[in-house]
Amino acid sequence: MRKRSLSINLLLAILIAAASLSSTAFAAKEVNLYSARKEALIKPLLDRFSAQTGIQVNLVTGKADALLKRLQLEGRNSPADLLITTDAGRLYRAKSAGVTQSVSSLKLRDTIPAAYRDPEGHWFGLSLRARPIIYVKGKVSADELSTYEALADPKWAKKICIRSSGNIYNQSLVASMLSHDGKDETQVWADSLMKNLARKPKGGDRDQIKAAAGQCDIAIANTYYLGKMVKGKDPSQQAAAEKVAIFWPNQSDRGAHVNISGVTLTRAAKNRANAIRLMEFLVTPESQSWYAEANYEYPVREGVEWSDLLKQWGSFKADQLNLAKLGQNNAAAVRIMDRAGWK
């Protein structure tokens, strides 16, 4: 009986070990991604990654704030290994919420400039988005423009369109100005800017550009929205885009304000090694070039050729402020906007 019992125990041990190895092998073939980027803007890259590595990417898309909330509610039980989201401010929120973990990767560190990654390795920029001044050709001359700060000049009264203060892109713009100009100067700027608006803030960036072609003379918007209007199929948006041009502000000092879409490894990640492989794949020259062609964003990796449309907009000096500052200054930026009556 004892010999039989030992055989049964040995068999059970073998079965348990086999099940464990099978589970590990299965886990080694997948990575789970939550993405605030629409499927069309990320899935082609994920498919290329899977084809090259044999690792399946399970994609869940959604609104940026909703995905962060989901990660918080799921906690350590979250199936997500990675989160891709837009704006450094949101990446900072994810880190502050305790749903991320640091990554030590020489490939990521050596490829991505320090300004576009978290100093502690919690998040990394994947693509660069610029937020310059967009002006109506024939109504405004580039010679009249200079800096973001100069938009507070009374000569621009009733001529500027911009999104609401609830928009993270504007919050990050103000947060960057806080870092460069200080609290008092930024408050004066925000107060004066509100006096120069042609209308109450409403709509998205494309709405500001369309309004700039009619209701106002100047808009502040991310360049990739203009790209979507130029390359899109809506004749009215194409017509509006034809009427405007880009001006790169602050070229004689800090440079134009930029932000990122970025990626972070979740604290709950169960496929850590595969997730890091995907992070590194997303900053390869192939992936970086795809961002520029597909979504009119700028590569974070140096030496990657821009798309023809980006080249048409001209080269520019970008602000080298570490984007972690945008998250750190977010609350103060929102208070300044509220005091200015920025709705």
107 lies in the same domain as 122 = yes
Tell me whether residue 311 is exposed, middle or buried, using C-beta atoms within 10 angstroms of its C-beta: 0 to 12, 13 to 18, 19 or more: exposed
Same domain as 140, residue 94: no
The angle that helices 235-242 and 223-231 make with each other, rounded to 10 degrees, is 120
**CATH assignment of the domain containing 110:** 3.40.190.10
The reply to whether 142 and 60 lie within a common domain is: no
Which pTM does this prediction carry?
Answer: 0.88
Query: Is residue 291 annotated as involved in ligand binding?
Result: no
Is 72 part of any domain? yes
How many CB atoms are located within 10 Å of the residue 309 CB? Answer: 16
Q: Does residue 111 sit in the same domain as residue 151?
A: no
CA-to-CA dists, residue 318 to 101, 241, 250, 300, 321, angstroms:
28, 23, 9, 11, 9
Tell me which residue range forms the domain holding 154.
130-257+321-339
Residue 212 located in a structural domain: yes
316 within domain boundaries: no
Evaluate the CA torsion angle 107, 330, 249, 41 in order and state its sign: positive
304 and 194 assigned to the same domain: no
Q: Are residues 296 and 150 in the same domain?
A: no
Domain assignment present for residue 219? The answer is: yes
* Number of domains the chain is built from: 2
Per-residue pLDDT of the chain (343 residues; tens, 9 = 90+): 444 443 444 444 434 444 443 444 444 599 999 999 889 889 999 999 999 999 999 999 999 999 999 999 999 999 999 999 999 999 999 999 999 999 999 999 999 999 999 999 999 999 999 999 999 999 999 999 999 999 999 999 999 999 999 999 999 999 999 999 999 999 999 999 999 999 999 999 999 999 987 899 999 999 999 999 999 999 999 999 999 999 999 999 999 999 999 999 999 999 999 999 999 999 999 999 988 888 899 999 999 999 999 999 999 999 999 999 999 999 999 999 999 999 9
236 and 120 co-located in one domain:
no
What's the chain's length in residues? 343
Do residues 147 and 71 both lie within one domain?
no
Claim to verify: residue 12 and residue 144 sit in the same structural domain: no
My answer on whether 199 and 325 are in the same domain is: yes
- Asked if the structure places residue 202 within a domain, the reply is yes
Residues 246 and 296 in one domain: no
What is residue 26's three-state secondary structure?
Answer: helix
Q: What is the DSSP string of 151-217?
A: GGSGGGTT-EE---TT-HHHHHHHHHHHHHH-HHHHHHHHHHHHHTBSS---S-HHHHHHHHTTT-S
Asked if residue 212 and residue 295 are part of one domain, the reply reads no
- The answer on whether 298 is annotated among ligand-binding residues is no
